[in-house]
């Protein structure tokens, strides 16, 4: 059964550095999402992406964040200048037309900003 | 405001006991409701969605619009049901909508 994959599984970075989190969605899915979960808190929506553009973003998704689908298979989340409070688990998800809001999640990338 | 509330952080039961994980939501329109489950060291996965009206692994959930609730129930808990359960809301039907999650309830089923 196809699954969403994410790399790396863990990332440690220094404050102010740029990080790129990578996701490979399920191949015939057209809707892509990023969520994050700060330790001990809720899973929070960051951004949705469809037809090569952002369809919705949350207040968290400020100018430091960007998403891209560079090659038709990968879906990336970039944080330009990381802050301590960006430390969280980041989940990618994808969905297919006709299945409504059923989203399939990746295993997550744990980001630690020091 | 769109919000999902799961009042219990932890629900601890013995094997064979009934289970009810509570979920209440706040949304002015007609949302779609989901239960996602995360077993230890595994990814979030869909357990069930209200429009399917399915029973998955013995779990059921009924949308009660009057009480704005979507509680998850199972008559006889099994040890393998131990996991983190998240109730989630999608603001409208169809398309590419975000999911709004509750804080989650950890279910611990003891032998």
pLDDT in tens, B53-99: 777 899 999 889 899 999 999 999 999 999 999 999 988 655 567 89
Which residues fall within 8 angstroms of residue B82, CB to CB, at 6 or more apart? B39, B40, B107, B108, B109
Residues in chain A, total: 114
- Sort B61 into a burial class: Cβ within 10 Å, 0-12 / 13-18 / 19+: buried
Q: Which residues of A touch B49 (CB under 8 A)?
A: 100-102
- Cis ω before A8 (30° cut-off from 0): yes
The structure tokens listed for B65 are 């619009």
Does the pLDDT at position A98 exceed 80?
no
CB contact under 8 A, A42 and B102: yes
CA distance B93 to chain A (A): 7
Output A28 or B30, whichever has higher pLDDT: A28
pLDDT digits (tens, 9 = 90+) for A42-91: 999 999 998 889 989 999 999 999 999 988 789 999 999 999 999 999 99
A108 contacts chain B (CB < 8 A): yes
Q: Which chain B residue lies closest to A95 (C-alpha atoms)?
A: B96
CA distance B54 to chain A (A): 14
- Please give the Cα distance from B23 to B88 (Å, whole number): 9
User: Could you identify the residue written with the tokens 């790129």?
Assistant: A20
Nearest to A100 among B32, B98, B104 (CB): B32
DSSP labels for A61-110? --TTEEEE--SSS-EEEEESS--GGG-EEEEEEEE-TTSTT--EE---EE
Rounded to the nearest integer, the mean pLDDT of chain B is: 91
CA distance B45 to chain A (A): 7
Q: Which residues of B touch A102 (CB under 8 A)?
A: 34, 46, 49
Reference A75, options A100, A54, A61, A96; nearest CA is A54
User: Could you identify the residue written with the tokens 């400020």?
Assistant: A62
CB contact under 8 A, A58 and B98: yes
pLDDT digits (tens, 9 = 90+) for B7-40: 999 999 999 999 999 999 998 877 889 999 999 8
């Amino acid at each position: 059964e196809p699954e969403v994959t994410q790399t790396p599984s863990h990332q440690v970075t220094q404050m102010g550095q740029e990080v790129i989190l990578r996701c490979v969605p399920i191949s015939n899915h057209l809707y892509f999402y990023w969520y994050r979960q700060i330790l001990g808190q809720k899973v929070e929506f960051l951004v949705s992406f469809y037809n090569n553009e952002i369809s919705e973003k949350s207040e968290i998704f400020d100018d430091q964040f960007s998403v891209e689908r560079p090659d038709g298979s990968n879906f990336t989340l970039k944080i330009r200048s990381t802050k301590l409070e960006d430390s969280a688990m980041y989940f990618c998800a994808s969905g297919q037309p006709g299945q409504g809001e059923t989203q399939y999640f990746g295993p997550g990338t744990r980001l630690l900003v020091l | 405001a769109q919000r999902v509330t799961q009042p219990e952080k932890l629900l601890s039961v013995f094997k064979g006991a009934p289970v009810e994980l509570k979920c209440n939501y706040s949304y002015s329109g007609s949302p779609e409701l989901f239960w996602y489950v995360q077993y230890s060291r595994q990814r979030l996965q869909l357990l069930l969605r209200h429009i399917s009206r399915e029973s998955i692994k013995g779990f059921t959930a009924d949308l009660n619009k009057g009480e704005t609730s979507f509680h998850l129930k199972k008559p006889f808990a099994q040890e393998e049901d131990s996991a983190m359960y998240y109730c989630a809301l999608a603001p409208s039907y169809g398309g590419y909508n975000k999911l709004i999650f509750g804080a989650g309830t950890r279910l611990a089923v003891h032998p």
